[in-house]
Structure 1
Amino acid sequence: MTLEALRPSPLVEQAARQLRAQITGGHWPVGSRLPGETTLAKTLGVGRSTVREALRALAGAGMVRPRQGAGVFVIATEPGEDWPTRLRRAAVADVYEVRAMVEVQAVRLAAARRTEADVAALRAALEGRRADGADDAAFVDADIALHTALVDAAHNPVLTDLFGQFAPALRQGLIDLIQLLGLRDDDPHHGDARHAALVDAVIAGDADIASTLLQSELEETRGLLLARRG
């Protein structure tokens, strides 16, 4: 397989695809150093900035690694799993443990940074969680929506994006847990008092109470998930 000059379209994607093919095809085995940016740019018929972005994409996929002053070296012949894929494959209890680390800090920030718009969103999300007649899936979706509103109130886009990655990985596990243990059999609004107190603490600006309430809730649910797994 040889490198070919690229057609005008998304050049970075084309460059990354061709370089990846060279690596997976064995042209550049693990441990080998790739040609320099100037050489690759000339061969591919693109600018050095395009090559640089393509190499960055391959580094993000875990296939190459730059070494300061030495060049870019192949470290794997296949791309690694991306973050969403890893989350989907992980045990729900393990995802929950990391979720707690993220969300507990987020509610502390939310208690300090919440705006009037956040307060309205939190109250609306709490009422949504109380919807009568909601099935288990709808209840879990409403619960996640409330927790998303809490994280949003921290006004940190990185935290918001990170929590957004957790939600799909948690959803089905939580639905299964509710159904397996019958958590809503006696109380269709399971955990309402604790969630109401959490919302009140954030609105009142009490970071200590908010974080303590949330930590307790998440630890309790993780304990149920671990017991189910065991």
Structure 2
Amino acid sequence: MFTVPLVSAQRTGLVDQVIEQLRDAVRQGEWAVGERIPTESELASTLGVGRNTVREAVRALAHSGLLEVRQGDGTYVRATNEVSGALRRLCGARLREALHVRRALEVEAARLAATERTQDELDTLTRLLDERDELWSRGDVEAFARCDAEFHLTMVEAGHNNLLSELYRGLMELVAASVATTSDTTCHREPVRHRDILAAIADRDPERAARHTQDFLDDLIAGHLG
């Protein structure tokens, strides 16, 4: 059952209220991506509404990409926000498309980070890259993918462009999946390329930061999807 506090829906705008409460539960991690949510009857009982109201709310969230209804199996969390849901619906399992979107966003993000980053953000990027390289050397692919995704998100946020950051956060789940799928911990060149990106950001050299980021992602796409 829920651990995120929920309140019984009021009598007006029932569907909209249930949509918002289910959306908040997903955003706050009540159910992880890929996890099945409670049944219609369980949700209806918890929220104090009819099953038809829950069904309409679930249908709306499935349309927006947050949930996926699997006939005869249940309803599963597909994404944590609408942007991510839309990207997943557009790209699906097509890794090439996800990586191309990732490249477009990250090249500009690296350029911005080189000019806009603070010292605190640079320190955070350095710490994350140290952790990332340690995980790489240990062959811990799952933890490496999480740390790598955090490094790239921090780089994007260091550019201080709210719209770019929001788009990238929506892509994060696809990015993490692409890193885990395309990482080969027997290759020693890839962490060095990230050191080049970080050095350019530290030197406040936007064109060099963008070039190293583009080169890294071009190699990634060509090497794994060519």
Normalising by structure 2, we get a TM-score of: 0.60
Residue in structure 2 matched with residue 101 of structure 1 by the alignment: 104
SS of residue paired to 2:148: helix
Q: Distance in 2 between matches of 1:96 and 1:9?
A: 44
Contact 2:114 2:200 in 1 (8 A): yes
Equivalences for 1:61-210 in 2 at 5 Å? 82-86=85-89, 89-131=92-134, 132-178=137-183, 183-185=184-186, 187=188, 190-210=189-209
- TM-superposed deviation, 1:103: 1.1
Is the contact made by 1:87 and 1:166 (CA closer than 8 Å) also made in structure 2? no
Q: 2: CA distance between counterparts of 1:85 and 1:192?
A: 27
**1:211 aligned residue:** 210
Q: Which amino acid aligns with 2:98?
A: V
Counterpart in 1 of 2:80?
none
Give the secondary structure class of the aligned counterpart of 2:160: coil
* Stretches of structure 1 lacking an aligned partner (at least 5 in a row): 1-5, 17-56, 62-80
Unaligned runs of at least 5 residues, structure 2: 1-8, 20-59, 65-83
> Are the aligned partners of 1:93 and 1:225 in contact in 2 as well (CA < 8 Å)?
no
Q: Is contact 1:92–1:170 with CA below 8 Å preserved after alignment?
A: no
Q: RMSD in angstroms over aligned alpha carbons?
A: 3.0
Q: How far apart are 1:171 and its partner, in Å?
A: 2.4
> How many matched pairs?
157
Q: 1:119 to 1:170 in 2, by over 3 A?
A: closer
- Distance in 2 (CA, whole Å) between partners of 1:87 and 1:145 is 23
Deviation at 1:98, TM superposition (A): 1.3
Q: CA deviation at 1:101?
A: 1.0
Rounded to whole Å, the distance in 1 between the matches of 2:123 and 2:193 is 19
8 Å CA contact retained: 1:106, 1:150: yes
Does the 8 A contact of 1:108 with 1:210 survive in 2?
yes
* Distance in 2 separating the partners of 1:118 and 1:90: 32
The 3 A distance-change label for structure 1 pair 156 and 133 is same
Contact (CA 8 Å) 2:110, 2:206: kept in 1 or not? yes
Over 3 Å counting, the alpha-carbon distance change for 1:127 and 1:11 in structure 2 is same
Q: Following TM superposition, by how much is the alpha carbon of 1:191 offset from its aligned partner in structure 2, in angstroms?
A: 1.5
> 1:40 is matched with which residue?
none
- Using the aligned pairs only, state the percent identity: 26
Q: Distance in 1 between matches of 2:172 and 2:90?
A: 10
Please give the alpha-carbon distance, in whole angstroms, between the structure 1 residues aligned to 2:173 and 2:193: 23
